[in-house]
Amino acid sequence: MRSVLRLYTLLWRLLLPLAFVRLWWRGRAEPLYRQHWAQRLGWYRGESPLFARGDGPRIWVHAVSLGETRAAAPLIAALREQVPGMRLLLTHMTATGREAGRALLLPGDEQVWLPYDLPGPMRRFLARHRPDCAVLMETEVWPNLAAQCLRAGVPLLLANARLSERSARRWQRWPSLARVAWGGLQAAAQTTDDARRILALGAANALVLGNLKFDMHPDPALLRRGQAWKAAAGRPVLLLASTRESGGRSEEALLLDALPAALAQRVLLVWVPRHPQRFDMVAQLLQARGLSVQRRSASQPTPQTAVWLGDSVGEMAAYYAMADAAFIGGSLLALGGQNLIEACACGCPVVLGPSQFNFAAAAQAALDAGAAVQAADAAQVWAALSDWIDNADASQQAAQQALAFASAHQGAARRQAEWIAAALAPDASAQ
C-alpha cells in the first residue's frame, strides 16, 4: 500500500510543473488562477483567522469548483444553525468556485486554495488551519489528503457523495490506492447506488441522506432578472445550458449541425457554455456558422437578437427563468451530464442527452416525474425543444412538474448538517 502511494506521489511531483503551467494558461481568461500560487503548495501568510474568533469548531469544507460551491451553500447555512459559533475554512481548486464561495463567508472565516495532493503541502495546510473535521464535497477524494487527515486525527467526511459506475471502476484498477483514499472516510451518499459503490471501495460508512442540490433555492432577484430578459426578447426562448467539449468535439457543433433553420428564425437561442474560458471560442463558432451573436456582458436581448451568449458566471437561475425550455449539456458527448435540478427549481422543463452517468438517479427521477425528456442525439434535442414551444399546455404542465419534482426531494441539507455535527471530534463539538 505504501509503495503505491509513493509511486502516486512521485508522479504528482513529476507533473507539478505542468500543473503550474496550466494555472498560468487558464489565468489568461480567469486572472484569479494567477493569484496566491504559494497556497497551492501549502504556504500561507500569517496565522489563520480561524483562531481569532470565538471557540467554536473549525469546519473545513472543500468545494472544488462552481457546482460544488453552490451545493455547499445550503449545507453551510444548515451547519451554522446546527453548530453555533462554527468557523468555516472554505477551499477550492477553480477560480469560479473561489469567486462564488466569497458570498458564503462570515467575519472570521477563511477561504484559500487547497494544496495539490502532495504530502508536504497537505501537512502544512493541516498544521496551519487545524480543522476539527474535513468535509469534502461530492467526489473530491485524494490519497495524500486522506492519508494526512488520518495522520493528523482529522475526521474525513464526504458530503453529498456521488460515485458513478465508471469512476468506481477506475478506482478498482488501483485497489491499494483506493484503500488509502477511501478507507478512512465516512460518506453521506446521494443514492443507494452511490453508497454501495463507495462502501465497495472500503469506506468506513455510507449513509443515504439525499442530494443537497434540491435545497438550492433560486435567488428571487435572479428570477426577476430572467423574466425581464424574456420580456425584452419578445419571443420564445430556448436555452442551451452548460454545453461542453471533449476529445476535439463540441456539443455546440453537434447542435448547430442539427439546428432546423425554421426554428432558429422564430426563437431566441440563449447559449451558456459550461466553462468561462470557452466563451470566446463558442462566440467564434456561432459567428462562423452565420449566426448573429450578442453577449450578455454587452447588451440585453432584443426581438432582433438571433443568439444571446451567456458570458457571465452566477446567473444560471436567471437564464433558466427566461427560458421556455432548456437543453442540459455534458450529455450529448460521453461526459455524464450536468446538474438538472437548478433548472427544475426554476420551473424550466429540460431535455437531456443520452449520457447521464454522473447524475443517473436525478435524471431518471426527473424523467419519471415528467420534468424532463431524454433525446438520443442533437436532432432529437431540437425536436423535443420545438414540441414544447409549439404546445403551450404541455410546456406549462412540464414546468409545474419540474417545480414539484424539485420541491419533493428537499431536506438533505438539514440531514447532512446533523450528520457532520455528530461526526465532529468530541472535544470539538463540546466547545
How many Å apart are CA 204 and CA 149, to the nearest integer? 14
**Cα gap 347→242, rounded to integer Å:** 17
How many C-beta atoms surround the C-beta of residue 313 within 10 A? Answer: 16
Residue with cell 443507494: 192
The values of phi and psi at residue 156, to 5°, are -110, 120
Phi, psi of 29 (to 5 degrees): -95, -30
CA distance 185 to 147: 10
Dihedral sign, CA of 37, 43, 47, 53?
positive
Instruction: Enumerate residues 6+ apart whose C-beta is below 8 A from 128.
Output: 42, 44, 47, 48
Tell me the C-alpha distance between 341 and 59, whole Å. 27
> Which of the residues 30, 47, 68, 81 is marked catalytic?
68
Q: At what angle do helices 192-200 and 165-172 cross, to 10 degrees?
A: 0
Rg (C-alpha) for the chain, rounded Å, is 22
CA count, 13 A, side-chain hemisphere, 63: 29
Strand partners, 307: 269, 293
Contact 248, 333 (CB under 8 A): no
Known active-site residue 81: no
Q: How many CB atoms lie within 10 A of CB 254?
A: 19
DSSP H helical segments within 289-352, as ranges? 316-322, 341-345
List C-alpha distances in Å: 291 to 135, 149, 257, 309, 397.
45, 52, 13, 11, 32
Q: 331: helix, coil or strand?
A: coil
Give the residue numbers marked as catalytic.
68
